[in-house]
Amino acid sequence: MTIHRLVKPTTSLLALYIVASMQSAVAAETVSAKLRQNLEIMQDILQKSLEQGQQSGVGRIEHSYLAGQGVLFQTSSHGGFGQYFPIAPLPPLPGMDPAQLANMADAITVQVDTNVQVNTQFDEEAFAELANQAEEMAEAVTEQHEQMRDQLRDLREQKRDLERDLRDVEREKRDLEFSQKVGKLDAEQQKSLKALNDRQSALKKQVDEMQKKYAALELDVNKKRAEQQKMAEQRQQALVSRVGSNFASTLCDYGASLRELKDNEFVSLQLSAHGRDQQDTYWVFKKSDINQCITGKINAQALLKKANYYQY
């Protein structure tokens, strides 16, 4: 009879196994200090470049490095760029047919081009002017909206008074009509009934007019909201054009500081937009194309055209 024995690993073998496991766990490559320094320097340069002008429109720039891919700089639009000041819809006036407002709202059509085009020639003065116009419009629309709310409160108070008078008239009219069913009305009662009918018609007409006034207010505020949104879209397009142009120029002027970045890697920028239905914008440059701009073989505009540009 053969007896099989389990052989426990010796202490030395166990130690070697643990050491091998630890070595495999820390085998990840480390980004060189020189490359890290290159990227931090470019981040500072890019921050200063994009902050030029009174309306920079961008926030703090951060970066990350993907081995074999390159560097990604990230920033976001701020200060209202890519947004419009949201204005809450006016509440429907009691007694108004919602379909009436919906039909009137459908009549408002303000086309907004959301397809941002790459513009290699950026006008800083035009950008600042557009930003100022957008701010002025935002203030004007907000002020007008408050005025409309005040008018709406007045309309509601007037409508309540009219409806109270209308209920009183209808009650008196019902009493007379009941008396007419059980007996003949005298001349005075007939005169009162006619006056009540006239009063009822006049009150209903005033209520209808009030509803039309409210509908006009709703139509106007929706139009202003659409105009403001269009202005915000235009300002966002101008911001994207500005950022792309400055990014390409900065890479041409200071791209030599990325000497540790490999020629087959990429330099990318992500501009995040904080707004309704807004997409982030990306520019992806080949390091080899940046080198051509550094040496003067192409200029910044040509470099920008070579970039892979998209929104996501």
Specify the pLDDT at position 95: 44
CA 196 – CA 175 distance, rounded (Å) = 11
* Environment class of 5 (CB within 10 Å of its CB; exposed 0-12, middle 13-18, buried 19+): exposed
pLDDT at residue 200, rounded to an integer: 84
Over range 239-252, report the average pLDDT: 92
pLDDT of residue 133: 62
Task: Determine contact, residues 257/60, Cβ cutoff 8 Å.
Answer: no
What was the pLDDT predicted at 303?
Answer: 96
* Predicted TM-score (pTM) above 0.85: no
- Do the bridges between strand 70-76 and strand 266-272 make them parallel or antiparallel, or are there none, so unpaired? parallel
Distance in angstroms between the alpha carbons of the first and the last residue of the chain: 74
Phi, psi dihedral angles at 57 (to 5 degrees): 80, 5
CA distance 215 to 232: 26
Contact 297, 287 (CB under 8 A): no
pLDDT digits over 177-213, tens only?
Answer: 887 777 787 888 788 778 888 888 888 888 888 878 8
The per-residue pLDDT of the chain, averaged, comes to 75
- pLDDT at 247 (0 to 100): 94
The answer on pLDDT for 150 being more than 90 is no
**Which residues have C-beta within 8 Å of that of residue 303, sequence separation ≥ 6?**
248, 251, 252, 285, 289, 290, 292, 293
Burial environment of residue 185 by CB neighbours within 10 A (0 to 12, 13 to 18, 19 or more): middle
Higher pLDDT, 91 or 145: 145
Angle between helix 187-254 and helix 33-50 axes, rounded to 10 deg:
130
pLDDT tens figures, 30-82: 889 999 999 999 999 999 988 875 455 788 999 999 999 999 999 998 644 44
- The count of other CB atoms within 10 Å of the CB of residue 84 is 23
Residues 248/131, Cβ–Cβ less than 8 Å: no
Mean pLDDT, rounded, for 215-244: 82
Give φ, ψ of 112 to 5 degrees. -120, 120
What length does the chain have? 312
What is the average pLDDT across 279-302? 95
Average pLDDT estimate for 248-252: 95
Other Cβ atoms less than 10 A from the Cβ of 248: the count is 27
Q: Structural domain boundaries of the chain?
A: 11-311
pLDDT for 73-129, tens place per residue?
Answer: 999 986 444 443 344 444 444 444 444 434 433 433 333 333 333 344 445 565 566
pLDDT value of residue 189: 79
From start to end of 139-287, where are the E strands?
266-272, 281-286
- Could you give the 3-state DSSP secondary structure of residue 62? strand
